[in-house]
Chains A and B, each alone.
Chain A
Amino acid sequence: DSGVTQTPKHLITATGQRVTLRCSPRSGDLSVYWYQQSLDQGLQFLIQYYNGEERAKGNILERFSAQQFPDLHSELNLSSLELGDSALYFCASRRQNSNTEAFFGQGTRLTVV
């Protein structure tokens, strides 16, 4: 158990809908990263937050947004969903903003039908 919790584990929704994925980092970790992994693809970096502030952005679509709350949990919001958004979404957390290991949650499997 990595200590990073993601909910829900599975999500099935229709095109055009909006969903929210939740990530609770390990206790004491200030940094949260979000990644998307499509079938047989690598991990695509979406966005990073550190202590409530956005620190880095990757290939995140404008339809997607995220935030990190004062209790350090993070939410990834996906809107106007398309079939191509079906993927595994992972979050990872890190103790500080640098030079520490990153630990992953078990992911949320999103299926858009």
Chain B
Amino acid sequence: QKEVEQDPGPLSVPEGAIVSLNCTYSNSAFQYFMWYRQYSRKGPELLMYTYSSGNKEDGRFTAQVDKSSKYISLFIRDSQPSDSATYLCAMSDQGAQKLVFGQGTRLTINP
């Protein structure tokens, strides 16, 4: 079993829709959670960074962490074609010996 599970998609939605991306994990020691956006064959770009449980909002993006369920989400409101990319979740523990990534979800926003 992988430490982090993420549905690879692909996910295709119309412009303006609310997008929900999710990851589940098995290691209860994870405390730091990140979402990255990766355009085709480019370096991952950090979108959101959260610590422990709760919500964090930044513009059209909201990150949620539910440690009791070992489940994290990224919501994108008013989705735009420019949001089309692969979204990767990542997490690490207090010791931060490594960053563990999900497989990535390929998202397409259709105009």
Residue of B45, B96, B102 near A104 (CB, 8 A) is: B45
Size bracket, chain B contacts: 20 to 34
Q: How many A-B residue pairs have CB under 8 A?
A: 68
Contacts of A106 in B (CB 8 A): 42-43
Q: How large is the interface on A (under 10, 10 to 19, 20 to 34, 35 or more residues)?
A: 20 to 34
Report yes or no: A90 in contact with B44, Cβ–Cβ below 8 A.
yes
Q: Which of A1-35 contact B (CB under 8 A)?
A: 2, 4, 31, 33, 35
With beta carbons under 8 angstroms apart, the residue of A41, A48, A96, A109 that contacts B41 is A109
Which 10 A/B pairs are nearest by Cβ-Cβ distance?
A: A98-B96, A56-B97, A104-B43, A42-B103, A106-B43, A43-B101, A101-B49, A56-B98, A104-B44, A45-B98
- Residues on B lying within 8 angstroms of A by beta carbon are 31-32, 34, 36, 41-46, 49, 51, 88, 90, 92-104
